[in-house]
Amino acid sequence: MIRPILKYGDSVLHEKTRIVDAITADIDRLIDDMIETMYAAPGVGLAATQVGLPLRVFVVDISVGRDPKGLMIFVNPEFVERDGVQLEEEGCLSVPGFNATVMRPMRAVVKGLDRHGDPQQIEGAGLLARAFQHEMDHLDGTLFVDRLRGIKREMIVRKIHKLTRAGKW
């Protein structure tokens, strides 16, 4: 089932998430829904907070469904390592229509559980490292806009407030 994606300003997006105690049928259904929602959007990642649940779950597929082995599911993820720096433009399904250059690690190693509760550890570089950091930020209540400073951040937030007042956000 495709779920609605929350937009910047919704309180759930700014909450720290809770650990998933057990991978139940509800969590399994959530994961299926998140995958379907991410591909329909289309996006390269989606965190549970973006569909309204403050749980430590995210899905990523930088191939956007073109590579059957590209889909990664993390439950209760944590960073093991991060290093290097990349500056690239990025957007977010919860901040549609806005992009900005954000500093991210060039390489990131994330560990957590897969959808079956088995431990996994995956290393990502480039876009995958960026996606890992972006989704982990969501799990900590941070959006890419929150990482911006100065005029760029002010412009985006101001435009979002204007769209909200006009009923278009």
CATH of the domain at 99: 3.90.45.10
Domain assignment of residue 22, given as a range: 11-165
The pTM is what?
0.96
At residue 99, the pLDDT reads 96
Domain tally for the chain? 1
At residue 149, the pLDDT reads 93
* 49 occurs within a structural domain: yes
Number of H helices, E strands in the chain: 3, 7
C-alpha 35/C-alpha 26 separation (Å) is 14
* 71 occurs within a structural domain: yes
* Residues in the chain, pLDDT under 70: none
C-alpha 50/C-alpha 94 separation (Å) is 7
* 154 occurs within a structural domain: yes
* 127 occurs within a structural domain: yes
* 2 occurs within a structural domain: no
Average pLDDT, the chain: 97
* 4 occurs within a structural domain: no
C-alpha 160/C-alpha 105 separation (Å) is 27
At residue 87, the pLDDT reads 97
At residue 131, the pLDDT reads 98
Residues noted as catalytic:
135
At residue 68, the pLDDT reads 87
